Amino acid sequence: MFEQLISCLKDIPNVVWSGIVASCITLLGVMLSNGSNTKRLKLQLDHDAREKSKDKINNLRKEVYLKVIEDIEATNIHMSTLVNRDLVNSNMTAEIQAITASIAKLKLVSEPETARLAGELSAAFGALFLRLIPRLMPVMEARSDIEINDSAYVNSSAEASRVMRDLHKFNEEGRQDAVIFQALQSNYDFFSAQAQQYASARALAYTVRNIRVNEFNAMLLPEMKELSKLQLKVAIAIRKDLGVSFNVADLERQLERHWAVMEAEFGNAMSGLKNE
């Protein structure tokens, strides 16, 4: 049987064998080409998928990172103006809540190092806020003294003005009742003296308030300086995540120059107040 098969194969003309060989070679080439194309297509699709995922993450990061930088600046302003705000009727924690929420979003999409630094910054903001609260109480007390004495001064001045009008009317009418005149004069002297006392107390309260505000600012300045160093680290990490070029040494020098100007101006302001 096998010998017959061999014999039949030998009887096939060479032209036929050439066609069979050529067809096999062509088929093999097509199979190899298809396999190669399939492999390249798979690699291209995988690459495109990675690029799309990377673009999606980068776009999301840009949105989150820009909001974080915006909220950091807003929180810096909030911290530096706390001493001048109405702490009774304002929500002191609103800005802290905003930066905390922004950093929480950042930690979801950022690289591990950026997330770590952002977490440290969030904790630093919270810790500084807690340290500032007790230092603000003396300022609030002085402001309360100003408001109390100012209100009492306004009321006493109003009463003194009312009595003065009654005295003018008494004189204009040509009345001769000494007892009424004396009573009006005594009331005027009383309310005038009270107004003067409240004015003096109010002036003292302003002085005390200014001293306490200056003490608060003197404490706050070095705190904010240290905080800005951590903020710079976060900004550098964000730039690295986004692929933005930067020079660490140059950014650090800019920060140092910024604080040198701030500290010099603060010192000049304090000297000016002492000389007044």
- pLDDT tens digits, 188-235: 899 999 999 999 999 999 999 999 998 999 999 999 999 999 999 999
Could you tell me if residue 171 is inside a domain?
no
In terms of pLDDT, which residue wins out, 170 or 137? 137
Would you call 162 helix, strand, or coil by DSSP? helix
- How far apart CA 116 and CA 124 sit, in angstroms, is 12
Residue 177 — very low, low, confident or very high, per pLDDT cuts 50/70/90? confident
Domain that holds residue 74: 60-141+203-275
Residue 38 — very low, low, confident or very high, per pLDDT cuts 50/70/90? low
CB atoms within 10 A of CB 259: 16
**Residue 103: both structure tokens together:** 């950093």
Could you tell me if residue 71 is inside a domain?
yes
DSSP class of residue 21 equals: H
Could you tell me if residue 100 is inside a domain?
yes
- How far apart CA 138 and CA 148 sit, in angstroms, is 15
pLDDT at 11 over 60: no
Specify whether the CB–CB gap between 103 and 53 falls below 8 A: no
**Residue 201: both structure tokens together:** 């107390």
pLDDT of residue 83: 85
Could you tell me if residue 19 is inside a domain?
no
Could you tell me if residue 90 is inside a domain?
yes
Could you tell me if residue 126 is inside a domain?
yes
Could you tell me if residue 249 is inside a domain?
yes
Could you tell me if residue 147 is inside a domain?
no
CATH number at residue 228: 1.20.120
pLDDT at 72 over 80: yes
Give me the residue label for tokens 């609030």: 140
Number of domains making up the chain:
1
